Every structure is written in structure tokens, then in C-alpha cells.
Amino acid sequence: MGNIFSGSEIVELGIQIEKNGRDFYSALTRRSKDTKAKETFEFLAGEETKHIGVFEEILKNTENYSPAESYPGEYMAYMSALAQEYVFTRKDQGAEIAGKITSDLRALELGMGFERDSIVFYEGMKKTVPEHEIKIVDELISQEQRHLVMLSELKQNFK
């Protein structure tokens, strides 16, 4: 079945996702030629930095938490499968990907994809954190949804 993660490791992956998001948007801020895109990327980099702190706080309460499962390892196998397919769970991928982008339009498209992937990952993460942390993860999901809308609206201006 491959790697099976603990709840705390899933939250650590969330931290890595946010670090890669921060690095991705920071690199795009430096590279973008469009003022509005540059401002949006800078804002999103700041948001990702805030999310890192939130996940670090969640991690403190998640060390020994295990979600309810139908069979041992069920949920963590699911999260492992999600993590393997999501590029932002790999260290230092954000800046590397941003370095290969040749246009603001492509940057917006990739950013939208990363925000969607984050939403899916964080929806899954909710089962790996204690009950009292779910509201916090829900708020992060809501923020990621707003980021997706923000990028989508900006993309419409590029067409």
C-alpha cells in the first residue's frame, strides 16, 4: 500500500504545501510584468505565510490523533494517494515551478490549479485533525476558495 502517514504528517504536508505556495507566489511577484498580477501574487504569498503559522499551531494538537476508519490505515492511505499526486507536497517545488513560467496568464492558470488542489487536500485533512481544529481547517479552505476566485477573476482580464 506504500507510505501511510500519521495525522501529524498530513498536517506537516499542509505546511509544505503552504511553503511551496508562498515561494511560488513570491517568485511570481518578482517576475510578473502586470501590476495587478504582481499585487495579487504578493497578497497571496502573504496569505500562504499566514497559513503556515496556522498549520504549525494545528500540528501542536495533532501529534497523537487518529481518525475513525473502517479498517486500519484506510484514511491515511487515501491521504497518501492525494499527497503523491500533489506537486506542492514536495519540498522546494514552488519556486522551481514559478521559474519555468513564461507568462502571467500561465502563472494564473497554474495558481488556480494549485488552489483547487489545496482545497481538495485540506478537505481530506479535516479527518486527520482533532474535532476542535476542523473549524480552523474550514476557514483555511474558505480562504483558498477566495484565492481561487481572485485568480479566476484576474485571469478573465487577461483574455
**Could you report the per-residue pLDDT of 113-140, keeping only the tens digit for each?**
999 988 988 888 787 777 777 888 888 8
Tell me, what's the pLDDT at 95? Answer: 86
CB-CB contact of 11 with 125 (8 Å): yes
Residue 12 clears pLDDT 90, i.e. is over it: no
Lowest mean pLDDT among 68-72, 109-113, 142-146, 155-159: 68-72
Q: How far is 17 from 82, CA to CA, in rounded Å?
A: 12
- Looking at the structure of the chain, the number of domains it has is 1
Tell me, what's the pLDDT at 133? Answer: 78
Residue 27 clears pLDDT 90, i.e. is over it: yes
pLDDT band for 90, please (50, 70, 90 cuts).
Answer: confident
Average pLDDT value over all residues in the chain: 82
Domain coverage including residue 134:
7-158
Which of residues 25 and 16 earns the better pLDDT score? 25
CATH number at residue 126: 1.20.1260.10
Indicate whether 1 belongs to any domain: no
pLDDT band for 59, please (50, 70, 90 cuts).
Answer: confident
Q: Which of 5, 18, 84, 17 is nearest to 48 (CA)?
A: 18
